[in-house]
Amino acid sequence: MTEIYENYEVKGECTFKIGGQLKKAAFPNNLDDFIELIKSKDYDMVLGNCSNVLFSSDYIDKKIIFTKKLKDYEILNNTVKAQCGVRGPLLSKECANHSLSGFEFLIGFPGSIGGMVYMNASAHNQAISDTFEIAKVYDINADKTIYLTKKEMNFGYRKSILQTNHCILLEAEFNLKSGNKENIEELMQRNIEFRKQRHPSLSTGNAGSVFRNPQNDSAGRLLDLCGMRGTKEGGACVFENHANFILNKDNATSMDVINLMYKMYKKVKEKYTIELHPEIIYIGNTGTKEQKLWEEMK
């Protein structure tokens, strides 16, 4: 059964801990219910764990399906099948328990499989596309469930066909490599330590990397050279240890975050004539000041 709420307080659904009321939120409990919601064409978008999402602090005139309850998975030999709502760290640990290598990098990702496939998540020389085999998706245009191979997914840096096609991920299948459990767990621990040293804890609201890396460069490096660490805007602040993160330090609003992002964007553009583009996703209403600044950065 699907749980549906109107005028839903959405800030608790995202790691940024920012957001106003949402017109409608739906939480399907199984894939059949999920498909029925999609087929109804009554909803504007589908979201997972919202670990890279910034919701507007104002009322959001949208209807959203959240996949957090779609968390079934199975591991058989080297094959891993996971529904779109399965959390990355959980799957990373379960694969380690089965002595399977390829998902060590997911231990530090707070997102779910749906979002990770959507953006081809990667870190520490590993990427979702490395082990991906096939996806079960719902094709809105064809109004049916179809399967997409790795080639058909058109994976690239932070992209997949799911961003441009009318397809919504239901579940994905991966093929991992057998490995030594101790070595796998050691690599996972190194990844955790790296993130502790370089990335902010989710105990302070944030949505991960703010901007995508430009070709052959690093957004964090450019922002560092522009002296952005520690820069504040209202309740939002650039992380002191890495300039490509924004923290919700003191009840920041979405406008605080977007104004701060815009400052970062303009500094890099003026100094290096490089335009940074957001890696996080903004969800708000059209025609607002927030939306206009966001469109300029996109």
Catalytic residue among 94, 122, 133, 158: 158
The answer to whether residue 173 is catalytic is no
Catalytic residue among 209, 233, 254, 290: 209
CB 113 within 8 A of CB 67: no
CA distance 96 to 88: 12
Angle between helices 254-272 and 289-297 (to 10 degrees): 30
Catalytic residue among 133, 173, 185, 279: 279
Helix (H) or strand (E) holding 46: strand 45-47
CB 9 within 8 A of CB 66: no
The answer to whether residue 198 is catalytic is no
Amino acid at 211: F
Residues 155-178: b if buried by 16+ CB within 10 A, e if exposed: beebebbbeebebbbbbbbbbbee
DSSP single-letter state for residue 232: E
The answer to whether residue 279 is catalytic is yes
**How far does CA 16 lie from the centroid of its chain?**
12
What would the two tokens of residue 115 be?
């979002």
Amino acid at 188: M
Closest to 174 (Cα-Cα) out of 246, 262, 105, 272: 105
Report, as residue numbers or ranges, the catalytic residues: 158, 209, 279
